[in-house]
Amino acid sequence: MSKAVSALGGVSHKGFVEVSEAGLQGMITVRGDLSSAKMKKAVKAATGTAVPEARRIVIAGDKAAAWMSPDELLILVPYTEAVATVAALEEALAGEHHIVADVSDARAMFRIKGAKASQALLKLCPVDFETLAEGEIRRTRAAQVAAALWKSAEDEFSLVSFRSAAGYVFGALEVSARTGSEPFPA
């Protein structure tokens, strides 16, 4: 595993908020019947959380389960646990129509930290951050590429994009976070 590197090697920039690539992150796509008993058990075992409600992410320590569509979840676990979690999910869902795919290496993850984190993001995403609910994951676009974002801590957002576009996303975040460019400076 030591050979594995994230798309941008953890690059960061400090402007009016700090934007950084978060490094390797285990991510697993799970599709199936989200209401089934097997699914609930499988997710509980993988992340320690319930199956999230529509458009919600439930976080438990370094793991989380996010609702991506009516038949799709994104499971977040530490990168080193992804392969084992995939196997466990496969086993738990055996006999039920489903798909489990390791997408840890297909994505890049970013953190936008600071009290004005949403002010950098609202330059790139057509999202109403004032009405973004507690625990909501929003799939949208960041400038010209697909992204998913959520408030991962007080004064912090996490954003996931495709790995190949990581350089573009970081560039857009860096410009958006530059000092003095807060849309609401006061």
In the complex, the residues that contact other proteins under the rule CB under 8 A are 3-7, 24, 29, 31-32, 54-55, 68-72, 79, 83, 97-99, 101-107, 122-128, 130-131, 138-141, 143-146, 162-168, 171-172, 175-176, 178-181, 183-184
User: Measured between alpha carbons, how far is 123 from 117 in angstroms, rounded to an integer?
Assistant: 11
Closest C-alpha to 150, from 70, 23, 59, 31: 59
> Are the C-beta atoms of 26 and 36 separated by less than 8 Å?
no
Q: How far apart are alpha carbons 185 and 49 in whole angstroms?
A: 38
- Closest CB to other proteins among residues 12, 122: 122
Of 48 and 132, CB closest to other proteins: 132
Q: Taking the complex as a whole, how short is the minimal distance between the CB of residue 38 and other proteins, in angstroms?
A: 15
User: Is the distance from CB of 26 to CB of 78 less than 8 angstroms?
Assistant: yes
- Give the single-character DSSP code of 132: P
Minimum gap (Å) between residue 77 Cβ and other proteins = 15
Residue 117: CB minimum distance to other proteins, A: 14
Closest separation between CB of residue 37 and other proteins, Å?
18
